[in-house]
A and B are shown apart, each in its own frame.
Chain A
Amino acid sequence: MQFDEGDSDVTRPFLGFGLGLRTDHYSYILENRPAVDWFEILSENYMVPGGKPLDHLDRIRADYAMVMHGVSLSIGSTDALNMDYLKDLKQLIQRVQPGWVSDHLCWTSVNGTNSHDLLPLPYNEDTIAHVVDRVVQVQDYLGQRILLENLSSYVTYKSSEMNEWAFFNEIARRADCHILLDINNIFVSAHNHHFDPLDYLNGIDIDRVMQFHLAGHSSNGEMLIDTHDHDVCDPVWALYGTALKRFGAVSTMIERDDNIPEFPQLRQELAIAEDIAAKILPAEVLAPKMDYDRTA
């Protein structure tokens, strides 16, 4: 596969290198104020009335940039949009003032019942039209563009008529939303569905991508599973380097949700990402900059 290097003139906000904010690390962060450019929070964890979660959030936000990442928008569901959820999300956005807000290109609920999982959509024209319409409504309501993220998936639907990246990119273009590219999920899905991850990277518009996720996965023998319980593996680091060559400086973070190491160890893993980026991109593009118009 031939690799397309990107056009390095793209200007996008760049937050630098971040980590997912996890409860295990609250006290370390508050006591040590470690050097990290930003944190990504899981929106639903803070969509609660009050108490410690919001208190910790406010205290950490006072010192760090943040972005918000949700799992329950259910943008691909055929239920009506959950306006209670969107109201709570908007309220949290007002509190946190995040760099941006993301969720997944998936569905999580139908008939008012939640699977609490990120379930894949069939890749066809009907789904594109359905999702685009809903992204436009969400962006109108929130008054800002959202980022959608690619999943790890384990099934292919017979009703799919195109590959995932064509589907993903078309939705981003037509809905005028941004993309959160999960490098590990591309790797996992490429293995599970037998495609070349470079085809995926080349199929995504450079200027749509605002953020990268990195994470570890596990294997059940034949399939790779997106478990976020291991370090980032070498082939995913290599794919990250390739992605940086195409997309340029993109805010990057590591997701860790299980088997969570001490904060300093996770911070060291993030330094690997910083080192890879420093070898590929000039220092001036790796200086964080946050000036852009978020309005949809």
Chain B
Amino acid sequence: MTALRKLQHEFLGYLLDSSATGIVGNIESSPRRSAEQRMTLYADAYELRLKEALSTDYERLHGYLGDDLFETLMQQYIENYPSHHPSLRFFGRHMIDLVERLEPFSHLPEVAEITRIETAFGNSFDAADCQGVTLDQLAGLNPEAWTTMKLCFHEAVQRLPQRYNSFKIWCALSNEEMPPQKTAQETTWLVWRQDLVSRYRALSNAEAAALDVAFSGGTFADLCEALLDHFSEEETPRQAAGYLQQWISTQMVCGLSTCQKLG
């Protein structure tokens, strides 16, 4: 190992764990400022910068947990998930892993749900752009193409199946209101991006089931079949077409693959 590599290892080692003081022997002390004091400045700045990034990405989670518990969360995160991405934007991306795995958060299921909501909005914000499918393109399809048609969704589209009223809690925190008590409430929520703005809504069980099929690569025929659990045979095609039109008109769909080329 070159001297420079050894020095960099020791420096970073100290930022990650200030009891690893190997770096201090490499630093000049001055009469007014010891090597340790000078290194503390870097360690403090490191922690502060990472905490700032987490506080920005998980503002609602912070609001829900309160300052003390969020501080614990940030410290656990910084200790367990050092940054492996050149951009701070992606530093907090493993938060869901922490809250599902480490105590006390792993005992609080709504915390994981709120984390998923904030992560979903973060993902949606700068997800890749796509040229959305238009209703005209849909109208131009041959009737036979409908049965074999598969959908490709915009990367911002995310389904959030939840067991608690976490979205209501999130909404209240977003509006700086007192969040409601946690209660069991099974709902699948949808986050997507329309005209560059992230949006959300609750899905009916039928629409959630239809989206599940579409997301897992099912054809429009498969989607209709899944809807038979929710609607009569007569109603189903109209309902399915209605969902499809809504998904397309809200810019959720980036591609339709059919056996034929789009006209």
Contacts and interface: CB of A to CB of B under 8 A. Distances in A.
B7 A116 contact: no
Contact of A107 (B8, B25, B32): B8
Interface string A53-82: 111000000000000000010101110001
Nearest to A42: B87
Given A113-B82, A115-B12, A115-B46, A52 B4 contact: no
A28 interface: no
Nearest to A73: B86
B126 A155 contact: no
Number of chain A interface residues as a range: 35 or more
A85 interface: yes
Interface residues of B, number: 47
A51 B193 contact: yes
B233 interface: no
Interface in A266-282: none
Contact of A50 (B27, B30, B129): B129
B5 A113 contact: no
A128 B193 CA distance: 48
Interface in A59-118: 72, 74, 76-78, 82, 85, 107-117
A68 B53 CA distance: 22
B38 A126 contact: no
A236 B108 CA distance: 52
A156 interface: yes
A158 B28 contact: yes
A265 interface: no
Contacts, number: 126
B88 A51 contact: no
Given A110-B12, A127-B4, A222-B33, A49 B126 contact: yes
Nearest to B196: A52
A225 B83 CA distance: 24
B42 A157 contact: no
A54 B128 CA distance: 10
Interface string A151-169: 0001111110000000000
Contacts of B89: 44-45, 48
Contacts of A108: 86
A122 interface: yes
A110 B5 contact: yes
A55 B16 contact: no
16 contacts: A47-B86, A49-B155, A50-B128, A51-B127, A54-B129, A108-B86, A110-B9, A113-B16, A113-B83, A114-B83, A122-B7, A126-B3, A126-B4, A155-B39, A158-B26, A159-B26
Given A114-B83, A116-B49, A116-B53, 15 more contacts: A45-B89, A50-B126, A50-B128, A51-B124, A51-B126, A55-B196, A72-B86, A110-B5, A113-B12, A116-B88, A116-B91, A119-B11, A119-B42, A130-B4, A194-B30
Interface of A: 44-45, 47-55, 72, 74, 76-78, 82, 85, 107-117, 119, 121-122, 126-127, 130, 154-159, 194, 220, 222-223, 225
